[in-house]
Structures are given as structure tokens and as C-alpha cells.
Amino acid sequence: MGKPTGFLEYQRQENKAQVPSKRTLNFCEFKEQLSEEERRRQGARCMNCGVPLCQSGMTLSGMVTGCPLHNLIPEWNDELYRGHYAHALSRLLKTNNFPEFTGRVCPALCEKACICGMNDEPVTAHDNELFIIETAYREGNMKPRIPQIRSGKKVAVVGSGPSGLAAADQLNHRGHSVTVFEREDRIGGLLMYGIPNMKLDKDVILRRQALMEAEGVVFRTGCDVGGDLREAGESPAGASSISAEELLREYDAVILACGAKKARPLAATGIEGAKDVFFAVDFLKSTTKSLLSGGDPQRKAGLKEGSFISAKDRDVVIVGGGDTGNDCVGTCLRHVCRSVVQIEMMPAPPAERAASNPWPEWPKVLKTDYGQQEAIARFGSDPRIYETTVKEVIRTKSGKLKGLKIVSVKFVNGKLTEVEGTERTLKCDLLLIAAGFIGCEDYAAQAFSVDRTQRGTVATQAGRYASSQAKVFTAGDMHRGQSLVVWGIAEGRACAKEVDAYLMGYSTMV
């Protein structure tokens, strides 16, 4: 695959990012595409290796390496190198429903397993993927594929994140009639309201929605399935409630793909009732909603004062060192915050692979992502503080946040322990909690009376997607817990195949 000597002749070239001082002026995507000629050279670096681990999606030492979708990476790299873009697209879409999403936000598990990366730099599979799909849209090759025959079976998908969308896409192309229910005003789940615009422009999601609607998928936004079990005012503004019983009567199968949005709270003295403390997803969602309502297609302005949780001129502390925490850093900088600190209770990973973490295992090394890069550029230092936790929230008599008492921590015999004498105070008038999630929201599971695991996810047999209730299935984060977009797509595809077999008695889906 590719040019036999390509990996010897060409060096890895990634899509270039705009400098932080420029890109933080707006909420636009900031990666700039390489030229077509250079992108073909990057495809030429694929080595024709005998065992392409890039597409393996296997678990080594408890971590997945290689693509969970088993993307046919060497095949579409070869077609890319040769300029056969339509053929490259056909191989790409065979395993991945939404390359325009993964090509932007996937951490590229494939590249970490690339054999070229064992002694050199890996192939730019992630950027190559994005080039193929965006070229297809630009050249008009992403046309509706409308099923010629309908099965007469109706499927309801609850939730329109990556797993729900993938399941809907698969089942629709199989010929079933699919309706997707989404409680928010727009589809996408965390793709829409959890991932910031500078990583995934929302027009990309709307473009895919239009294509799926042309193919026959029905989207019903503002519909909170099971919302009748929630307290007054908990459903999104303007959303109507639909009972689980109604869906079970009307549809032949129901897929629950509602995500794992039950946020992990922060245990700190004084936090209860404190003002200016928010979960990260609520913070990010408020910015995206304000941008979308502003009507600015370039996302250069449009933020309406008072319509979002603002970090402008504030000292922000973010608890959580993962991708969501990093997204909060980048968003706060675009709000023009006064300062930003990101707290992580785990120790900093090493700069290089440890001997106990050999290739092709997932590399447990320090990654400085776009948000941290931007903070370093603006403030001159990395915003992250490792092996630290918040001990106390300091506030005024009225409850307004004014600072945090933090303390260093160590794991001693597997138990998180404070380090004596390390308490100190941080200025903080906006606290964002990005400490992960602890399972699906209670009402969504309770509405369908499905069993749950100790992790708060919907219980199924190992490797299966059927819940404890007849004709109710589950996929994505609601099934496996908080995970990556690529895993959501993989789960949605696998769930769709199981639903298809349930409806038809067999399945020809892959």
C-alpha cells in the first residue's frame, strides 16, 4: 500500500495550526489543510506492512491501541497516494459512518499503533481521513443513498450523539424506518454541546444531519423521552416530554443512546451553595448555544453578554486534566479570562515512553493539547498543576466564590492521601468541574426500567446490546461509560446489527 519507499523518502507533515495569538481571537477551527500534493505524499508513507496494527483495535495492558472501527487504513492511504479519491472514500465509509467527526476530534489510536511509528514518525492517518471525506463533500460525492426497499419495521433511537447517529444511519440504510429523539434543540449530543466549535464546527454536524434526513432518517429535537419523571424545570427549555410507554407501543425496537452525562461532583468543604461553580459541560454548552444564536457563521463574534457563562476578566480554576478540561482552558482564553489554572490529582505522565510501556501499547506520555499550548503562549507557563486537589471553597457571606484552598496529594497503598504542609490558596472567582462522569442520568434508565451496572451504565450481556427489557437496546457511553467519539460510532454500528437481527431474524450488516 502506498509508495513502497515512501516512508523513507517523505517526512511526516501534520495539518498546521494557526498560532495561538491568532486563533484565540475567535471560535473558528484553526487547523489548516496541507496542499493536495503534500497530502498524497503523506498517504505514500504507508508502509505495506504485513500486519497493519493501525486497524486492529486490540487491548494491550488494559488499553486499546489501533482503530476500534477497524478502519481499512492501508487501503485508503494507497488510494489517496494514487489520487483515487472516490475509491478512498468507498473504503473509508465501509467502516466509519462519520469520518468528518473522527477526522477532527479522534485522538488517533490508529497512529499510536502505526508500524512506521515504531522507529520513525507514524503515518498521518487522522489528517488523511479528514482530507478524504472533506474532498468528497467538496466534489459532490457525498450524495444521499436512499434505501430502495423498506422493511416495514420502525426503530426509535433516543439520543443523537455519535452512537445514536451511527445506529440510526446503519439501520436506515438497511431499510428500517428510523426516528431519532433528542431533548436538546439541535442534534449531536456532546458533538454539538460538549465539544467546542474550534475543534468541531457545528456546521459540520448540520451538514451530516441534512444528508441523513435526505436519506430518510427523521429527527425530533426538543423531545425529552422519559422527561415526565424529571422535576419541573429540569428538561431543556421548550422541550416536550414523551413517555417510554409511548415509544414502546409505537416502535418495534428502541435504542437508548443517551450518553453518560451524570457528572462526577467535587467533594470539597463549602462547595454546596457556592455561586460561580459549574460543571464543565454546562459551561461549554452555554458558549456554543450563544454562538449559534448569534448568527455568525464564522464564529468570530456572536457571543451575547448575559447569554452564557462568561470567563471574561475572571480567575478560572478547572478541576480535571482530561480533554474536557483542556477544552475549558481554550474556551476561557477565547472569553479573555484574567488567569486559568487546571488541577489534576494524578501525577504528570513522563515526557517519553517508559520501558514498561513499549510500542504498540497506547503511549502513556505527557500531551500538551491546544488549550494548554494557548495558555502557555498567553501567560508564559503551563496551566496544569498535578497531584493536587481542592480541599475547600472560599466564598463571601453571600456565597460568591473568591478563592480555593488546594492541597498536594499522593497515592499511598492505593489510597489518595493529602501531603501534610502543602495547603495553599488560589485566587478563583469561576470554578469549572471537569472530573468526568459516573454513568447515565437516572431518569433515562428509570423510564424504561432497565437494569444498570455498578458503574451507572445500562446492563447487558458481555459483548451484547440488548437490555434487561424486551426490545430495548443500548449503545455508546450509556452502555460502556464515558469514552471517545470513535467508540461511540463503533458501539452504534454493533448495536444496529444486533437490532437488525432481532427485527429480521438475521442480519447482513457488517
pLDDT score recorded for residue 295: 59
Are 6-138 and 154-262+438-504 equal in CATH topology? no
What topology does CATH give the domain 154-262+438-504? Answer: FAD/NAD(P)-binding domain (3.50.50)
Concatenate the DSSP letters of all residues of 127-186 into one string. Answer: HHHHHHHHHHHHTT-------SS--S-EEEEE--SHHHHHHHHHHHHHT-EEEEEESSSS
Span 223-244, average pLDDT:
90
What is the CATH topology of the domain spanning 277-433?
FAD/NAD(P)-binding domain (3.50.50)
pLDDT at residue 50 in the model:
86
pLDDT digits (tens, 9 = 90+) for 366-378: 999 999 999 999 9
Long-range Cβ contact pairs of 262-265 (< 8 A, separation 24 or more): 262/437, 262/438, 262/439, 262/440, 262/441, 262/442, 262/456, 263/433, 263/435, 263/436, 263/437, 263/438, 264/433, 264/435, 264/436, 264/437, 264/438, 265/433, 265/435
pLDDT computed for residue 293 by the predictor: 87
Mean pLDDT within 62-73: 95
Which amino acid is residue 143, in one-letter code? K
Residue 116 DSSP code? G
For residue 301, is pLDDT > 80? no
Instruction: Kindly tell me if the per-residue pLDDT of 300 is higher than 60.
Output: no
Q: What's the pTM?
A: 0.96
Give the containing element (helix H, strand E) for 349: none
What per-residue confidence (pLDDT) applies to 386?
97
At 97 the pLDDT is 98
Q: In this model, does residue 297 exceed pLDDT 60?
A: no
The SS3 assignment for 60 reads strand
Q: Break the chain into its structural domains and give their ranges.
A: 6-138, 154-262+438-504, 277-433
Residue 411 phi, psi dihedral angles, 5° rounding: -90, 120
pLDDT at 47: 87
User: At 509, is the secondary structure helix, strand, or coil?
Assistant: coil
Q: How confident is the model at residue 414 (pLDDT cuts 50, 70, 90)?
A: confident
Whether residue 24 is predicted with pLDDT greater than 80 in this model: the reply is yes
Distance CA 61, CA 75 (A): 28
* Average pLDDT score over residue span 349-359: 93
Average pLDDT, the chain: 95
Where residue 350 falls among pLDDT bands split at 50, 70, 90?
very high
Question: Residue 331 pLDDT more than 60?
Answer: yes
* pLDDT (tens digit per residue) in 447-501: 999 999 999 999 999 999 999 999 999 999 999 999 999 999 999 999 999 999 9
Mean per-residue pLDDT for 68-86?
97
Q: Which residues contact 465 (CB under 8 A, 6 or more apart)?
A: 473, 474, 475, 479, 491, 494, 495, 498, 499
Could you give the CA distance from residue 146 to residue 13 in angstroms, rounded to a whole number?
A: 38
Domain 6-138: CATH class, spelled out: mainly alpha
Banded model confidence at residue 38, pLDDT cuts 50, 70, 90: very high
What would the mean pLDDT of 14-42 be, rounded to a whole number?
A: 96
Query: Does residue 189 register a pLDDT over 70?
Result: yes
Q: 123-172: per-residue pLDDT in tens? A: 999 999 999 999 999 999 999 999 999 999 999 999 999 999 999 999 99
